[in-house]
């Protein structure tokens, strides 16, 4: 409130300077040969000072440096030399003799500082008063249009580049104001005609002074028509049941809509909705006034709510595939609104940055290549826009890599094509492995293989005769029948007959 008063005071000082009013009385002297500029901002300032009846300069949010020069709608120019003259000028205006112009540049001083600010144009001036919370022309038009008055179209407004634009109707006006931005003040070409809705009379307006007076008289009428409010409250922990409370007014009727569908049984200011299925909903209430003194016969409000549900339990199945652990098979149904986050030992993993599953590109599957030996905790979290909490499932996986196999080769005889291969890695008697020649499995070897013959002991050797000269591949591969991840070692043998 103090800021507003200060701004009002500053603007008042500014006007006084323009009118050239001083201790000797109003309109001490007229100023000749000034380049006055039409200013909606100076009219706004003076209007706010008049309706708040500012008493002294300390109430202003800034101070003018005097003298200031102002221009009237009649073409007269006035210089104001002090605050007393400024104040006299503010309250001496009439519909036929009022300030509409200002001479740029001028200087002001913020109330909290002695720093001078030079104001060189209308845009800068408008920005300064916006910080003072004045009732601007734009705010008053937005507030009162179609409630207190409407324009007798067409009208002409100047855009932000001062180019005249013909406004044929209200739709065009709404579009025009939106395109000009929030700081734009309606720049009219006078005269205009407006229709007073309460009296059904048409008035011709010649200045912003007259227009502000009309808008100010609208305030009492508009305040008799309170705007609707609508508050939604969740009444269940799952957030799927709501109550809605709107403005309670005497002599008013209510219409409720759920997603634009009328609820014919709801006719009071309170509505308790039935349990919603998960999703988004919009509730709207229209209040119709039955009071003659209220210009706005209806008002409305709406609110959007999201109904949630308890998150279902989730789990996954882990499967070892070759040298990769695939975690997949999320147990809950696949829905578009649900997403998953995977964590390995409390570190978030992006499944798309790893080895993607060609059959499942979604976040419902996770490949984990290259895990270190040991036990790891794998967790998956499920989130949904319609889920009121987070579901999480964790399980542990133990990684045990097979030992790296090694072996030697020795040709038996000269150019016979027969070779003896012997495993040399320390674990050869405790794991099962196989010998592979040119991609063909030749025999199993190693320790006891329960899948083959529980009584068979193998000698960790392979004697093999090649029937063709050339380079052949011999490999020893630790088999996945044991609880470890496969490992293979190969050797090229050059056979000469």
pLDDT digits (tens, 9 = 90+) for 56-90: 777 777 788 899 999 999 999 999 999 889 989 99
CATH of 230-307, one of 3.10.450, 2.60.40, 3.30.70, 2.60.120: 2.60.40
The residues spanned by each domain of the chain are: 2-130, 137-223, 230-307, 317-399, 407-495
What global pTM score does this model have? 0.43
Strand order in the sheet with 164-167: 164-167, 155-158, 187-188
Distance in angstroms (rounded) separating the CA atoms of residues 94 and 81: 21
* CA distances to 228, 244, 258, 267 from 305, in Å: 18, 10, 11, 21
Name the range with the highest mean pLDDT among 100-114, 119-133, 305-319, 410-424: 410-424
CATH of domain 317-399: 2.60.40
At residue 30's C-alpha, the angle toward residues 136 and 106, to 5°, is 45
Between 53 and 161, the more confident residue is 161
Q: Is 215 helix (H, G, I), strand (E, B) or coil?
A: helix
Fold agreement between 230-307 and 317-399 = yes
Mean pLDDT score of the chain, rounded to an integer? 79
Distance in angstroms (rounded) separating the CA atoms of residues 327 and 371: 13
Report the 10 Å Cβ neighbour count for 82.
19
Q: Is the dihedral of CA 22, 24, 26, 30 positive or negative?
A: negative
Strand order in the sheet with 432-437: 440-446, 432-437, 470-478, 487-495
pLDDT digits (tens, 9 = 90+) for 126-166: 888 777 777 889 988 887 887 788 999 999 999 999 999 99
For residue 273, the 8-state DSSP code is P
Query: 326-329 long-range CB contacts below 8 Å, 24 or more apart?
Result: 326/357, 326/365, 326/366, 326/367, 326/368, 327/365, 327/366, 327/367, 327/368, 327/378, 327/380, 328/357, 328/360, 328/364, 328/365, 328/366
pLDDT of residue 17: 38
pLDDT of residue 135: 84
Q: Bridge-partner residues for 238, per DSSP?
A: none
Contact by Cβ (8 Å): 72, 78: yes
pLDDT of residue 114: 74
pLDDT of residue 152: 94
Distance in angstroms (rounded) separating the CA atoms of residues 231 and 228: 10
CATH of 407-495, one of 2.102.10.10, 2.60.40.10, 3.40.50.150, 3.40.50.880: 2.60.40.10
Residue 167 has which token pair? Answer: 């406004």
Distance in angstroms (rounded) separating the CA atoms of residues 386 and 393: 19
pLDDT digits (tens, 9 = 90+) for 207-249: 999 999 988 887 555 555 667 788 888 877 666 788 888 877 6
Residues in the chain: 497
Q: Which residues contact 220 (CB under 8 A, 6 or more apart)?
A: none
């Amino acid at each position: 409130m103090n800021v507003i008063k200060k701004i009002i005071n500053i603007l008042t000082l500014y006007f006084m300077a323009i009118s050239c009013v001083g201790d000797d009385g109003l309109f001490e002297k007229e100023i000749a040969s000034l380049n006055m500029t039409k200013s909606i901002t100076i009219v706004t300032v003076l209007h706010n000072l008049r309706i708040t009846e500012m008493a002294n300069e300390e109430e202003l949010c800034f101070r003018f440096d005097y003298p200031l020069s102002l221009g009237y709608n009649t073409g007269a120019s006035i210089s104001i030399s002090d605050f007393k003259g400024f104040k006299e000028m503010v309250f001496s205006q009439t519909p036929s003799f009022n300030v509409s112009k200002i001479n740029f540049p001028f200087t002001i001083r913020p109330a909290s500082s002695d720093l001078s600010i030079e104001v060189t144009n209308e845009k800068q001036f408008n920005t300064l008063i916006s910080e003072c919370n004045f009732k601007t022309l734009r705010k008053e038009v937005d507030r009162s249009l179609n409630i207190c008055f409407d324009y007798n179209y067409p009208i002409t407004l100047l855009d932000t580049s001062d180019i005249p634009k013909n406004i044929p109707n209200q739709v065009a006006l709404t579009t025009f104001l939106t395109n000009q931005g929030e700081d734009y003040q309606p720049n009219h070409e006078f005269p205009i005609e407006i229709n007073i809705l309460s009296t059904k009379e048409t008035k011709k307006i010649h200045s912003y002074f007259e227009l502000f007076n009309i808008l100010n008289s609208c305030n009492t009428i508009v305040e008799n028509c309170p705007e609707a409010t609508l508050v939604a409250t969740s009444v269940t922990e799952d957030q799927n049941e709501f109550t809605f409370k709107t403005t309670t007014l005497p002599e008013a009727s209510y219409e409720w809509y759920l997603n634009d569908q009328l609820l014919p049984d709801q006719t009071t200011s309170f509505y308790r909705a039935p349990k919603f299925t998960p999703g988004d909903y919009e509730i709207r209430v229209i209040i119709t006034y039955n009071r003659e003194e209220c210009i706005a016969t209806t008002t409305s409000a709406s609110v959007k709510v999201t109904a949630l549900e308890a998150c279902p339990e989730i789990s996954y199945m882990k499967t070892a595939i070759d040298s990769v652990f695939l975690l997949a098979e999320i147990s809950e149904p696949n829905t578009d609104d649900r997403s998953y986050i995977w964590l390995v030992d409390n570190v978030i993993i992006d499944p798309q940055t790893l080895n993607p599953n060609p059959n499942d590109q979604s976040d419902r599957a996770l490949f984990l290549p290259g895990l270190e030996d040991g036990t790891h905790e794998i967790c998956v979290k499920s989130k949904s826009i319609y889920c009121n909490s987070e579901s999480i499932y964790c399980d542990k996986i133990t990684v045990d890599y097979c030992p790296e196999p090694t072996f030697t080769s020795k040709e038996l005889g000269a150019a016979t094509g027969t070779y003896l291969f012997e495993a040399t890695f320390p674990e050869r008697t405790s794991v099962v492995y196989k010998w592979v020649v040119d991609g063909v499995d030749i025999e199993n070897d190693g320790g006891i293989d329960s899948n083959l013959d529980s009584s068979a002991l193998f000698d960790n050797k392979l004697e093999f005769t090649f029937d063709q000269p050339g380079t052949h591949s011999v490999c020893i591969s630790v088999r996945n029948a044991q609880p470890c991840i496969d490992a293979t070692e190969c050797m090229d043998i050059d056979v000469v007959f």
